[in-house]
Structure 1
Amino acid sequence: MSSFKILITSQKGGVGKSTVAANLAAFVRRLGKSVTLIDFDTHASSSNWLNRAPEIGVSVQHHLLPLEQGGKRPILDARLHLRRAAERAEVVVCDLTWTDAIASELMLEFDLVIVPTSVSEIELSATAGFLNRHRWVFDAIILHSAPMLLMCPTRVHPEQLRSDVFSNQRFPVSFMLAPPVLEAQSARDLFERGYLMDLPDACGTSFVEFGKAVMAALEMREASLVVRETQTTPANLSAIVRKPLHNPTASKTATVSSQASILGRHRLQKMRADATSGKNPSAPSQMPANSLASMRIPQFFKRMSMGMSTK
């Protein structure tokens, strides 16, 4: 069985990492895929959520990595648990708070790395620093090695959607931007009781949009691997180099508007589908009040959707 492996990680707590991990695992399971969640965190928030919420069919594991031993031991343990899970599940979701005791190369075991982040300037700056320390992973030119990187704005308040703080921050690596997951008291109330995708409010809608974006990313990953496998021959192997999702700037960094945006593609596809069915996606009167599309879309999202430059 070919398994897709997703890592949800950050070095900072309080960004909703475990919430995203538990609820993404549930979202993918409801799509009919076999899913295993591996919770590497001490507090076991994501595994507790799935173990105590209504049964949805996700296989849940909680393993503590031997971080105090240092060296290669943490990464060897993580690889062992990951590969065993991948033998039994179509999708493996890992929840891991990153520390300096973990070697960057662990990320190479995954197809998709999701980094949740708030939209505050301080948090975005810290996230950019985290990515810079591990940039070689996403710039790897070894065939099949580099995972896709997905940035996920989390716990976003509706008024923050009007901010251009994301486009003002420069990031050292190529990434895709997921739809934002909105903040809501209803989400906190669901801890160990239910799932965000079932919330009948804007937070629930936002998480469903996020889940769809993740699945689109996995489809893109699968397609790229198929293309690479069919194109890999002894004659052209040395010529294959992973191309970045953006053209490098003079400073070798990139603004978010120059990144490939899943949000932009997803919104355009949805608009085309609505147009085909006779619906007008721009008319608020034809949309539910809690739909993300009824909110004001921030300028930096618009620029990414249209492929426009911030310059």
Structure 2
Amino acid sequence: MTTPTDDAVRRAVGAVIDPELRRPIAELDMVRDISVANGAASVGIVLTIVGCPAADRISADVRAAAASVPGVTDVALHVGVMSPAERRALTERLRGGRPAREMPFGPGSLTRVIAVTSGKGGVGKSTVTANLAVALARRGLSVGLVDADVHGFSIPGLLGLVDADGNVPQPTRIDDLMLPPVAYGVKVISIGMFLRRAHGEAPVGAVAWRGPMLHRTVQQFLTDVYFGDIDVLLLDMPPGTGDIAISVGQLLPHAEVLVVTTPQPAASDVAVRSGVVARQTGQRVTGVVENMSAMTLPDGTSFALFGAGGGAVVAETLSTDAEPVRLLGSIPLSTHLRTDGDAGTPVVVAHPDDPAALAITVLAEILAAAPRGLAGRSLPLRPE
């Protein structure tokens, strides 16, 4: 019979992934004393905070990891909490040496930042953003999503982050860092996570904020939320060209902009404005998405409820000799896209063969394959 060693159990336990920080707990310095005697393993770990929402999952995963070591017949788990000094050391390590409240997505960042905009509301921008984020995550990318539509936030509902009382889970706080909830592999932050209501009460009231509050909220989402090393950060922008569009342009002047429109001129004419304002702040229009385009009926005929051609017109209008803009995709009208969004399950997950889901998946492939401009950026390489 195999005799388990302390080191073998430590390696197994240390490889457990913290579900919020998405790193091995050994790397996070959460493993404490481990000993094995006569097949019985005594395992000590510490959680980051008191009342850690991931405590049960971490404990279960640690028990399972220790029990998986050949020769271990019993596991006694001892759970503690980090000291304030240990938490400070952890947050400093997570920041990678950056000062507190410094925005990690500046021009030198390797994270690709894409702001999804529209000229007007009601074009399905948030639905496209939520499904696009999930489609990118399903391709193996690490994805973050900021719901920057503070007045009209809808991302938590579209991604199923709503409980029976209509509340959304709040981010876990480690000192001055917030750990965003994860849905379908996407790290999500929204103002809806900070507005609570009790059982049976009316829905949360509107957020009645003006420019300075809106700017500070978006800034805090970008500085105080720990997304970690992500490949793509999507921002679900509010419609139009108001305060938040200007703030994002100031905070993220290197961001790409994806313009969402519907086919009819009433939407496409306005959509052009969001691209123009983005360019004025130095951002680059990476492409146009036409939502609610023609759908194919069971008899094979095409039904264009909102007309046709608006997406191509927006792309052509925004194109310049130095910066051509492409129509990257047309997402057809889809009942599943609507009902799955209402149910909090992205259509790319619930009905991946739906025409709208297929169009969004192709859009994700196009964006994922686009080259990343690394000129002038410092790569995170250091000599050994």
Regarding TM over 0.5, the answer is yes
**Residue equivalent to 2:157:** 48
Give me the whole-angstrom Cα distance separating, in 2, the residues matched to 1:2 and 1:92: 11
Among candidates 45, 49, 57, match of residue 185 of structure 2: 57
Shift of 1:16: 0.8
Shift of 1:24: 1.4
**Structure 1 residue 69 corresponds to structure 2 residue 207:** no
**Structure 1 residue 182 corresponds to structure 2 residue 332:** yes
TM (norm. structure 2) is 0.49
**Structure 1 residue 194 corresponds to structure 2 residue 345:** yes
Deviations 1:25-64 (A, max 9, x none): 1112222232222213334321222234995222221127
Q: Is the 8 A contact 1:178 1:210 kept in 2?
A: yes
Q: Is the 8 A contact 2:262 2:311 kept in 1?
A: no
Shift of 1:78: 1.4
Structure number with the bigger relative contact order (C-alpha 8 A, sep ≥ 6) is 1
**Residue equivalent to 1:34:** 142
Cα gap change, 1:163 to 1:208, in 2 (>3 Å): same
Among candidates 348, 357, 360, match of residue 204 of structure 1: 357
Give me the whole-angstrom Cα distance separating, in 1, the residues matched to 2:312 and 2:338: 29
Shift of 1:70: 2.2
Shift of 1:112: 2.0
Question: Letter of the aligned partner of 1:61 in structure 2?
Answer: I
Give me the whole-angstrom Cα distance separating, in 1, the residues matched to 2:120 and 2:345: 25
Give me the whole-angstrom Cα distance separating, in 1, the residues matched to 2:285 and 2:274: 16
Gaps of 5+ in 1: 141-145, 231-311
Among candidates 142, 152, 171, match of residue 317 of structure 2: 171
User: For 1:82, what is the secondary structure of its paired residue?
Assistant: helix
**Residue equivalent to 1:213:** 366
Give me the whole-angstrom Cα distance separating, in 1, the residues matched to 2:238 and 2:307: 29
Question: Letter of the aligned partner of 1:58 in structure 2?
Answer: V
Structure with the largest fraction of helix: 1
User: For 1:38, what is the secondary structure of its paired residue?
Assistant: strand
1:184-263 → structure 2 map (5 Å cutoff): 184-191=334-341, 192-198=343-349, 199=351, 200-217=353-370, 220=371, 222=372, 224-226=373-375, 228=376
Question: Letter of the aligned partner of 2:189 in structure 1?
Answer: Q
1:6-17 → structure 2 map (5 Å cutoff): 6-17=114-125
Give me the whole-angstrom Cα distance separating, in 2, the residues matched to 1:34 and 1:229: 20
**Residue equivalent to 2:272:** 128
Give me the whole-angstrom Cα distance separating, in 1, the residues matched to 2:113 and 2:333: 27
Give me the whole-angstrom Cα distance separating, in 2, the residues matched to 1:13 and 1:92: 22
Question: Quick one: percent identity of the two aligned structures?
Answer: 21
Q: Is the 8 A contact 1:5 1:93 kept in 2?
A: yes
**Residue equivalent to 1:307:** none
Q: Over alpha carbons, which structure has the higher Rg?
A: 2
Among candidates 107, 113, 122, match of residue 5 of structure 1: 113
Give me the whole-angstrom Cα distance separating, in 1, the residues matched to 2:121 and 2:307: 25
Question: Letter of the aligned partner of 2:286 in structure 1?
Answer: L
Q: Is the 8 A contact 1:36 1:85 kept in 2?
A: no
**Structure 1 residue 82 corresponds to structure 2 residue 222:** yes
TM (norm. structure 1) is 0.59
Cα gap change, 1:212 to 1:162, in 2 (>3 Å): farther
Question: Letter of the aligned partner of 1:178 in structure 2?
Answer: L
Cα gap change, 1:132 to 1:80, in 2 (>3 Å): same
User: For 2:228, what is the secondary structure of its paired residue?
Assistant: coil
1:135-150 → structure 2 map (5 Å cutoff): 135-137=279-281, 140=282, 146-150=283-287
Give me the whole-angstrom Cα distance separating, in 2, the residues matched to 1:168 and 1:22: 25
Cα gap change, 1:36 to 1:180, in 2 (>3 Å): same
**Residue equivalent to 1:19:** 127
Q: Is the 8 A contact 1:51 1:60 kept in 2?
A: no
Alignment RMSD (CA, Å): 3.3
Give me the whole-angstrom Cα distance separating, in 2, the residues matched to 1:180 and 1:38: 24
Give me the whole-angstrom Cα distance separating, in 1, the residues matched to 2:367 and 2:208: 29
Cα gap change, 1:194 to 1:51, in 2 (>3 Å): closer
Q: Is the 8 A contact 1:23 1:196 kept in 2?
A: yes
**Residue equivalent to 2:249:** 107
User: For 1:154, what is the secondary structure of its paired residue?
Assistant: strand
Give me the whole-angstrom Cα distance separating, in 1, the residues matched to 2:360 and 2:265: 23
Gaps of 5+ in 2: 1-108, 163-181, 195-206, 296-301, 379-384
Give me the whole-angstrom Cα distance separating, in 2, the residues matched to 1:18 and 1:100: 17
Give me the whole-angstrom Cα distance separating, in 2, the residues matched to 1:101 and 1:60: 22
Cα gap change, 1:162 to 1:76, in 2 (>3 Å): closer
